[in-house]
Chains A and B, each alone.
Chain A
Amino acid sequence: MRPRPPPVRLVLAIGATVIAACGDVAHPEFPRYLDDRLIVFAVLSPDSTAHPMLVWPVDYSDPLTGTVARVYRASDGVWTLVAETTEAVDVSRCGPRYGGLVIGVAQCLVPAAVLDDGASYRVEVSADDRATAWGVTAAVGAFHVETAVLLRNSDQDSLSSTWTPSLATHRYMASLRPRSERGVFSRGGEGWYIEVDDTSMTTPVPDDAIEAAVQPLTLDVAAFDEHLYSFITSGNGDTSFSVPPIQNVVGGFGIVGSVRYRSLAVTEK
């Protein structure tokens, strides 16, 4: 005799189907306060005694208060305070260094200090009810561009240049200065540039890079420390599968790095 299937099975199946078919979706509530960490962008340039830093909280449901930025120098294995500020200046002061990164909720703090080439610095930022964030970098040293020659050729123009070495520099980026911000488009629209490990280069230059360059032609060379270089060349954001860039801020997010820029008029041959 065949056993009769228990009705509970059918009831459960129908019930599950009905529940699955329901379209009501109740989304969870967003908690009011979530995180106490800070985002810090501190790019030091020893060419200047003022060092603009952008700071904003991860969670800005509450405004940032009591912000303090400190810069320490390593000497004989000890961190010595060389600069400190509690004053948040107009955020536009950070514009020249961070460009479009300046956002409304950010504070701009500008500690003042003379930085020594190749020395190590620790940048530390704290604020009321927030975790202290810090990072360490080495100040890249001074250098100058010695030669910059553009060899005209019917097939492919090439650019050759040499410069002196810079202390604590991890990598250089060289570019022909564009005529405007609406120049050539590559690598997402910033224009043509090349990464260089050494202190000299000879590289072909695309025609449209020359066409978009300011006249007379000028070569810009930027020297980056390792941390800043890693940050600006890594990460994949604003897509479905974002990978955050390499950062060195402990207890928070962002970058503490160092950069220096040099330029030279290009000789055409």
Chain B
Amino acid sequence: MDRVARFRQRYRHSSALVVAIALSSCPSPVSGVFQDPLEGNWRFRFVDRESDAPLASVHVSFPDMSESRASDSLGVASLASEANLLRIVATRVGYARMDTVVARPDGGTLVELRLTRSTIVLTSLTVQAVRTGTDSRELARQMFEREVAIGAVGMTRTEVRAVPAVAETDVFRSLQSVSGVASVNDFGAELFVRGGSADQVAVLLDGAPVFGPYHMFGMFGLFNPDVVESAELYKGSIPARYGGSLSGVVSARQRAGGTTGTRFSGGLSGVGLRAALDGGLPWSDGRWLAAGRKATIDLPGVDAPFAFHDLNMGLHLYPSEEHRLGISLLATEDRFSWDFLGVGESLRSDWTNLVSSVTWSWVRGNRLTSDVTGYFSRYEGHIEVGEEQSGLSARNRIGAGGVRAQIAVRGEATGVRTGLLVEGGPVSLRGTTGPGAYMQGETLGTYLHASVFVEVEHWIGALRLAPGARLGTERNSARVFAEPRLSARYHLGAFAISGSLDRSFQFLSVLRDDRHVVPGAPMWFLRGEGQPVSTAEGASVSLDYWRGSRWTGSATAWTRRFTDISSWQPESVRDLSALQYHGGSAYGWELSLERHAGLLRGWISYQHGWVELRDGDGRKYWPRWDRRHEIDATLNLADLLGFSASLRTTVGSGTPFWFPAGEFYGLRYDPRRRGLNGGRDDFTILSNVQGRMPYYGRVDFSVRYAFRWDTLAIAPFVTIPNITGRQNVLTYAARPGGSDDRKLTPRHQLPLFPFVGVDFRY
């Protein structure tokens, strides 16, 4: 209590801090509070200027003292000296040399020095290979140090590339390979986290929400792998600064461009062509990036059933050492059109995203950082299924604009991050043109969500208390909500034990038939007044292990309770009256181990999960993402004479399905008969009895060879998904009949199918 009293005295003018302390007594995601028992009265911390990631192995020399040091895994180097001014020369592979003089700061806190990346030291591919071993651990360590968020993982571009691709490297498919994330089948890159559905995972790009985060019905993530610097995934235990999703958050950051000249990179793969240009601004301290991707399977004389393209643009300006302005833009479009030959029916779907944000960051010394992000995200989706050219469609539109502002104050033992979010815009879902559409009816509303959050962090010896909370209101549903996010971590040598309690609300959900799955654009809808709002409450504990600079591991257990999860399982009427709100619970535990550096690196994990929901009639069921056991192993053999290879193995128990009970048939008006006739349409009726698919197993393999041709770095690759050719079951079709002749006919998932491609960089 004495420490709390001192803290209150110190920050007595800050009402936000008082509120924060009153809520609990502790702090949260504030970086820079390290407990390493370093000797010496000068301490330096070296970080990447773009990402703030700590930089290990920085060679630091002090010419006036004939001393030199190397920074440790936290980017920290120390020196015992009574001098008040020091000349420092810092060098590190991949970064520009720094030669500067620093003055001793008041209070003796560490001095943070930001190194600027430089591409002129080594060839780009070599630089990439060197950074491979360190980035993943640095990002993981940075996230670990920044906050107590159980199960949070970071994925750098290098790790994304380390996972064998289905046609093309993909951020989301790479995230599927980490512990605590389940996938439903080979054709989906969607993330199912902590027992929740895919729409319970919010996707953000530079702070702006992305409502249609997948290409090709979920087969590929929306993010161009050449563009994303890193992606962070929060699983269940979500920091208070994020709101609006129950089960997880994917926060991706677009990379800044280079510092000098213009670079060109891209690739050609089974998906299509992609290209990226980036460089530095010649007239000011700034960087720019422009990238595009176009995918189609156009063949001469054959109409492509699908096409998608996306465009990324980014600009980072550094008007001074303390200020940074980032502008980010993503525009995407997907089109799918397929006529089922001979039956006169079709499936058409298209969707577009326009995601833009402007972020201003202000960093004042080591103690205060703040940023303000203004964003706008527009999404339009369309599904048309049924009779060919019928024009019967369902349309979804969201136009969400928002402002997020936050400020973080850090001290020796206490830190606070607090901020606010205001987000709103129209949300419409219309089955407009009559019966036969994917859905009937309409729901309209204007989303307006305002909230404040506070994340507090307080160290008591080796104990790090990190309570947080989010308070807000959503106008359309007329709800006021409070989301406590309480976390704590205890450090014990190479181990850390963490625990958290949390509650989350979700106001926007996707209307998707979970049983008769029709692929297509996600259809979001907004809760109206009086409609239930989805809620999840959870608890988790984890034991994290950090061994040297190579190994990290964790063991995590979690449990969650869901209330009023929206579920649409229409059988007779495809309108919103078939919308139900289900409840249930989930629990699980997982183990993971990762090797970050060395010739052979990668990660392996085991997870056990259990999800059970109850429908509106009180019947219990397993959602289709309830995979009980899963082992994931991703191994990457790093650069060996230009070759690198990677292997991903996934073995899991089968996911649930509903047994087909029978069929009924359609009727059509038939002029030939002057009346009705049995149509060709037959419709499967699913029972309420569930079974499970056979166990799932898949091995993907990829090999890449990198070489240079003049100034062009070229890396052709071959990827073979499902290299063993195992016939994993996607779904069952059933012919109804008597007890003697009824049988299940499996439809299989991805076959053995090699993809070739090439990446290049100039």
Whether both chains belong to one complex is answered with yes
Interface string of B628-663 (1 = CB under 8 A from A): 000101010000000000010111000000010110
A234 contacts across to B, CB distance below 8 A: 386, 392, 435-437, 574
Contact A25 B694 (CB under 8 A): yes
Which residues on B sit within 8 Å (CB–CB) of A243?
385-386, 436, 438, 516, 518, 574
The answer to whether B675 and A235 touch across the interface, beta carbons within 8 angstroms, is no
Kindly identify, within residues 1 to 33 of chain A, every residue whose CB is under 8 Å from any CB belonging to chain B: 2-3, 5-6, 9, 12-13, 16-17, 19-23, 25-32
Cα distance A250–B436 in the bound complex, in angstroms = 19
Please measure, in the bound complex, the distance between the C-alpha atom of A140 and the C-alpha atom of B482, giving whole angstroms.
55
- Knowing A35-B687, A239-B340, the reply to whether A101 touches B665 (Cβ < 8 A) is yes
- Residue contact A187 to B344, C-beta cutoff 8 Å: yes
Q: Point out the residue from A21, A25, A100, A101 that lies within 8 Å of B724, measured CB to CB.
A: A21
CA distance A98 to B668 in the complex (A): 9
Q: Which B residues touch A173, using CB under 8 A?
A: 669
Establish whether residues A9 and B659, one from each chain, have CB atoms under 8 Å apart when the complex forms: no
Interface residue ranges of B577-634 to A (CB < 8 Å): 593, 595, 598, 600, 604, 606, 631, 633
Q: Taking each of B659, B683, B726, B737, which has the highest tally of chain A beta carbons within 10 Å of its own beta carbon?
A: B683
* Chain B, Cβ-Cβ closest to A100: B678
A26 to B437, CA, bound (A): 38
Is A222 close to B, CB under 8 A? yes
Residue contact A242 to B685, C-beta cutoff 8 Å: no
B343 near A: Cβ within 8 Å? yes
Query: B678 touching A5 by the CB < 8 A rule?
Result: no
**Partner-contacting stretch, out of B92-100, B128-136, B139-147, B742-750:** B742-750
Q: Are B676 and A26 in contact (CB under 8 A)?
A: no
CA–CA, A26 to B742, complex, Å?
A: 17
Contacting chain B: which of A66-74, A76-84, A154-162, A188-196?
A188-196
Closest residue on chain B to residue A242 by CB atoms:
B683
CB-based contact B651/A19 at 8 Å = yes
The complex places the Cα of A144 from the Cα of B691 at a distance, in Å, of: 54
Say yes or no: A27 contacts B343, CB within 8 Å. Answer: no
Query: Are the CB atoms of A253 and B671 closer together than 8 Å?
Result: no
Collect the chain B residues with CB atoms within 8 Å of residue A266's CB. Answer: none
B385 contacts which chain A residues (CB < 8 A)?
A: 236, 241, 243
- If A175-B671, A192-B671, A243-B516 touch, whether A59 touches B682 (CB-CB below 8 Å) is no
Asked if B137 is at the interface (CB within 8 A of a chain A CB), the reply is no
Given contacts A5-B595, A183-B672, contact A238 B681 (CB under 8 A): yes
On whether the beta carbons of B699 and A21 are closer than 8 Å, the reply is: yes
* A residues near B682, Cβ cutoff 8 Å: 237-238
Nearest Cβ in chain B — how far from A229, in angstroms? 8
**A20 touching B726, Cβ below 8 Å:** yes
CA distance A268 to B415 in the complex (A): 90
C-alpha spacing A250/B392, complex, angstroms? 24
Residue of B nearest to A62 (CB): B739
Find the residue from A25, A39, A248 having the highest chain B CB count within 10 A: A25
Q: Are A232 and B669 in contact (CB under 8 A)?
A: yes
Residue A145 at the B interface, CB < 8 A? no
Contacting A21 at CB < 8 Å: which of B519, B547, B726?
B726
Chain B CB within 8 A of A233 CB: yes
A9 to B665, CA, bound (A): 53
Q: Are A58 and B691 in contact (CB under 8 A)?
A: no
Contact, CB under 8 Å: A61 / B739: yes
Partner of A236, one of B345, B604, B667: B345
B572 within 8 A of A: yes
- List residues of chain A with CB within 8 A of the CB of B743: 30
- Determine if B664 and A254 form an interchain contact, defined as CB atoms under 8 angstroms apart: yes
Are B738 and A253 interface neighbours, CB within 8 A? no
Contacts of A265 in B (CB 8 A): none
Tell me, yes or no, whether A141 is within 8 Å of chain B by CB. no
Residues of A within 8 A of B685 (CB): 35, 37, 39, 58, 253
Q: Does A132 contact B (CB under 8 A)?
A: no
> How far apart are the CA atoms of A248 and B689 in the complex, in Å?
23
Asked whether A27 and B664 contact (CB < 8 A) given A232-B676, A237-B683, the answer is no
A176: Cβ under 8 A from any B Cβ: yes
B559 at the binding interface (Cβ < 8 Å):
no
Given the interface pairs A178-B672, A239-B340, the reply to whether A13 lies near B548 with Cβ below 8 Å is no
Main SS class of interface, B: strand
Docked CA distance A34–B732 (Å): 15
B674 within 8 A of A: yes
Verify B684–A236 contact, CB threshold 8 A: no
Q: Which among A220, A238, A248 is the interface contact of B680 at CB below 8 angstroms?
A: A238
* Chain A residues with CB under 8 A of B386: 234-236, 243
A93 within 8 A of B: no
Tell me how many residues of B have a C-beta within 8 Å of chain A. Answer: 92
Q: Are A59 and B661 in contact (CB under 8 A)?
A: yes
Contacts of B677 in A (CB 8 A): 98-101, 190
Residues of the A chain whose Cβ atoms lie less than 8 Å from the Cβ of B674: 177, 220, 222, 261, 263
The answer to whether B727 and A25 touch across the interface, beta carbons within 8 angstroms, is yes
Q: How many A-B residue pairs have CB under 8 A?
A: 274
Shortest CB-to-CB span from B603 to chain A, Å, is: 9
What 0/1 readout, one digit per residue, does chain B (683-723) give for beta carbons within 8 Å of chain A?
Answer: 11101110111110111000000000000000000000000
Q: Which residues of A contact B536 (CB under 8 A)?
A: none
Q: Least Cβ distance of B575 to chain A in Å? A: 8
Give the chain B neighbours of A220 by CB distance below 8 A.
Answer: 671, 674
User: A21-B726, A248-B573 in contact; A31/B676 too (CB < 8 A)?
Assistant: no
Contacts of A46 in B (CB 8 A): none
Cβ-closest chain A residue relative to B344? A188
- Verify if A247 is at the interface (C-beta below 8 Å from B): yes
Say yes or no: is A181 at the interface (Cβ < 8 Å to chain B).
yes
Contacts of B689 in A (CB 8 A): 31, 34-35
A247–B744 touching, CB < 8 Å: no
- What separation, in Å, do the CA atoms of A30 and B690 have in the docked complex? 10
**B662 and A30 within 8 A (CB):** no
Q: Which residues of A contact B532 (CB under 8 A)?
A: none
Which one, B518, B548, B662, B724, contacts A241 given CB within 8 A? Answer: B518
Taking the complex as formed, is B303 at the interface, i.e. its CB lies under 8 A from any CB of chain A? no
Shortest CB-to-CB span from B736 to chain A, Å, is 7
Cβ of A259 within 8 Å of any chain B Cβ, yes or no, is yes
Q: Is the CB of A246 within 8 A of B435?
A: yes
* Bound complex: CA A27 to CA B436 (Å): 34
CA distance A229 to B667 in the complex (A): 10
Chain B contacts of A180 at CB under 8 A? 672
Does A163 interact with chain B (Cβ within 8 Å)? Answer: no
Name, among A3, A20, A242, the residue most crowded by chain B CB atoms within 10 Å (CB to CB): A20
Closest to B685 in A: A58
B649 contact from A5, A16, A96, A224, Cβ within 8 A = A16
Q: Given contacts A59-B687, A236-B387, A244-B574, is CB(A30)–CB(B742) below 8 Å?
A: yes
B365: interface (CB < 8 Å): no
Q: Does A102 contact B (CB under 8 A)?
A: yes
Residue A255 CB within 8 A of the other chain: yes
In the complex, chain A residues whose CB is within 8 Å of the CB of B695: 19
The smallest C-beta distance from B668 to any residue of chain A, in angstroms, reads 6
Max chain A C-beta neighbours (<10 A), residue from B593, B691, B725, B739: B739
A190/B671 in contact, CB under 8 A: yes
Chain A residues near B340 (CB, 8 Å)?
A: 239
Cα distance A17–B647 when bound, in Å?
10
Q: Does A118 contact B (CB under 8 A)?
A: no
Sample 28 A-B pairs with CB under 8 A, ordered by A number.
A9-B595, A13-B649, A20-B699, A31-B689, A32-B739, A35-B688, A43-B667, A58-B661, A60-B737, A61-B742, A98-B676, A101-B676, A101-B679, A188-B344, A229-B435, A230-B436, A234-B392, A234-B436, A234-B574, A236-B681, A237-B680, A239-B343, A241-B517, A241-B518, A242-B516, A243-B518, A247-B572, A253-B572
Q: A188-B680, A190-B670 are in contact. List 20 more A-B contacts (CB 8 A).
A: A13-B649, A27-B744, A35-B689, A39-B662, A99-B678, A176-B671, A187-B387, A188-B345, A188-B668, A222-B669, A222-B674, A232-B668, A235-B683, A239-B343, A243-B518, A244-B570, A246-B440, A255-B667, A259-B675, A259-B676
Q: Which 7 A-B pairs have the closest CB atoms?
A: A237-B681, A20-B697, A101-B678, A234-B436, A100-B678, A99-B677, A175-B671
